[in-house]
Amino acid sequence: MPTSQPGGAASSAVANLTGDRRYQRQQREALDLRCGPALSAHDECLSPSESLNRGRVSTVLSVCRVRKLVALASVVVAVPFAVNTPSPDAAAASACHARVSHAVIPVWARAGFTGPHPHIPYVLGRSGRIVAILFGYPLRSPVAPHRNNKILWVSRTFPTRPTALWIRAQRMVGNRPIGAPVEHVVRGGPGPSYVDVPQPGCWRLTLSWAGRRDSLDLAYSTGT
């Protein structure tokens, strides 16, 4: 009658248990490769053996599909913010609005001013290439009897070959042009000027000089 060796059954059970755990770990790792990393600590893919034991094979597929859909959605949502960044031309098509600042004028526009922190109302071009310093603020149409619509134009960069500053002013209602445009020319390039318009309202100015281009909006109130 054969005698069993001491501990033979226990060793076999341990070996089987170790083999089962190793098999389950390998299956889980293989499933993770197909499914992708877990979304949270409570969202892990089940191994095939665990799924079969619980009768939830479809759950594994559903969790994997959810992970892939969420990952795909995050990529799709992130793309518009990187691609659809508004350009100066796109901003120029928005509703007319004069963004007058009463803060200290930009450093690059302070040449000729006395004092370290000059405060004069100004409007910065959409592209930041030019600033309109409004000495005649608030601007009026028709022109006020005792004050002109004086504007000092300052270019951010000084052109090597100065040319005239061409101004095309278009009255706007929202983002719709109303009436005919008005044109002004500042000889010698950006500098002091008087910019008058025939009617009060919001006017969109397109500016070009020395191969540069910018735009901004100015508001003209009823003259008194």
Considering only 49-53, 70-74, 126-130, 164-168, which range has the smallest mean pLDDT? 70-74
Q: For residue 51, is pLDDT > 70? A: no
Residue 205: beta bridge partners?
169, 216
- Ordered domains of the chain (ranges, CATH): 8-83 (no CATH), 88-222 (2.60.40)
Q: What's the mean pLDDT in 10-31?
A: 52
- What is each CA distance from 217 to 72, 144, 160, in whole angstroms? 42, 20, 27
pTM of the model: 0.60
Give pLDDT, residue 142. Answer: 96
Q: Where are the alpha helices (DSSP H) in the chain?
A: 8-35, 48-54, 57-83, 88-92
**205 pLDDT more than 70:** yes
Does the pLDDT value for residue 204 go beyond 50? yes
Residue 20 burial (C-beta neighbours within 10 Å; 0-12, 13-18, 19+)? exposed
Confidence of residue 22 (pLDDT cuts 50, 70, 90): low
Residue 24 has pLDDT above 50, yes or no: yes
